[in-house]
Amino acid sequence: MTMPRSHPFAQVDVFSPTPYLGNPVAVVLDAADLDDQAMQRVARWTNLSETTFVLPPSAPEADYRLRIFTPGGELPFAGHPTLGSAHAWLEHGGTPRSGDRIVQECQAGLVEVRRGEGILSFAAPPTRRSGDLEQGYLEQVVAAFGIDRDQVLGHQWVDNGPGWAVVRLATAQEVLDLDPDLAQIPTAMVGAIGAYPPGSEHAFELRTFAPGVGVAEDPVCGSMNASVGQWLTNTGAAPASYKVSQGVRLGRAGDITITADPDGTVWVGGATSTCFRGTAAL
C-alpha cells in the first residue's frame, strides 16, 4: 500500500472583504504526484464548489499550472479558484516572473492575474460561445426559474469554459426571489442577473446555478462574472467599472469588482483571505 504524502494545503475565502462570507476554494499545493483519480476523489470529499491542484507549469511564460475540479468533474477554467489559488501560491512563497503580474496556466489557456488596490484580479478569458440562447433552451430555463418570458430583458451564451448561459432580469429583487426547479434543467450551467436601484453600493445581483457539475448554486462565481462582464460592457448595458453582489440567498456577502480596460480587457477582482492552512495527506 502506498503511504500518503503530505501536501501543503489552504482553504481560501474569495470575493468577500469579510472572511467566511465569500466563496471557499480548497487548494492543494505541490500536487505534481497526484493523478486524475486522486484529484477527483479529493474534490468529491471536500464537497466545495471547486478544489484546485497547483502543479509546475508546462508553458514557459506561466508561473504555475492549475487543475480545477468540482465534485462532479474537471473544469477548464473557473474564476474564484483562480484568485484563491493565486493567493495560496503567493503565500506559499511563489514569486511571479513579472512583478505584480501572475500567469496561470490551465486547460483554458494562460490567464493573467494582477495585484493592486488590495485585491487580486484576473483577466477574463475569451468566450468559447456567445450569442442569444436558442428558443427551446430559453423556454426551459424560464420554466425552471418559474418566471414569465417577458421578465427576461436579455439572454446570452457566456461560455468561457464551464458552459455558462445567463438571463438578464429587470431588478436585483427578481433575481433574489428566484427559487428554481433545477430538476427541469439537470445539465444546465446558467445564471440570472438584475440591477439594483441607481446609487446602490452594487450595480447588480448575480446568481449562478450549476447542476451540470453537481453544484446547485455557486455562492460567488468569478467565471460567470467575467463573461457576463464582457457581455454587459461590450453592449453598453453596464459602465466600464461596476460592482456585483452575489451569495445573498446563501448567507454570503460576495463583492466583485468588474473593470473594463480601454482595450476591452475585462478584469474580475475581489478580496482573498486564507481561513485554513495546513497539510493534506494524499
**pLDDT at residue 47, rounded to an integer:** 92
Q: Which CATH architecture has domain 135-266?
A: Roll (3.10)
Give the whole-angstrom CA distance, residue 181 versus residue 235: 30
Please name the fold of domain 6-125+270-281.
Diaminopimelate Epimerase; Chain A, domain 1 (3.10.310)
Average of per-residue pLDDT across 183-206: 98
**pLDDT at residue 4, rounded to an integer:** 87
pLDDT, tens only, 203-248: 999 999 999 988 899 999 999 999 999 999 999 999 999 999 999 9
**pLDDT at residue 148, rounded to an integer:** 97
Residues counted in the chain: 282
pLDDT band at 64 (very low <50, low <70, confident <90, very high): very high
pLDDT, tens only, 75-130: 888 999 999 999 999 999 999 998 889 999 999 899 999 998 889 999 999 999 99
**pLDDT at residue 100, rounded to an integer:** 83
Is residue 123 helix, strand or coil? strand
pLDDT band at 51 (very low <50, low <70, confident <90, very high): very high
pLDDT band at 41 (very low <50, low <70, confident <90, very high): very high
- For the annotated catalytic residues, the residue numbers are 50
What phi and psi, each to the nearest 5 degrees, are found at residue 183?
Answer: -65, -20
Q: Characterize 189-210 residue by residue with b for buried, 16 or more Cβ atoms within 10 angstroms of its Cβ, and e for exposed.
A: bbbbbbbbeeeeebbbbbbbbb
Burial class of residue 96 in the structure, from the number of CB atoms within 10 Å of its CB (0-12 exposed, 13-18 middle, 19+ buried)? middle
pLDDT at 161 over 90: no
Q: Output the CA–CA distances (angstroms, integers) from residue 242 to 160, 202, 239, 255, in the order listed.
A: 20, 7, 6, 11
pLDDT band at 279 (very low <50, low <70, confident <90, very high): very high
The domain limits of the chain are 6-125+270-281, 135-266
pTM as predicted: 0.92
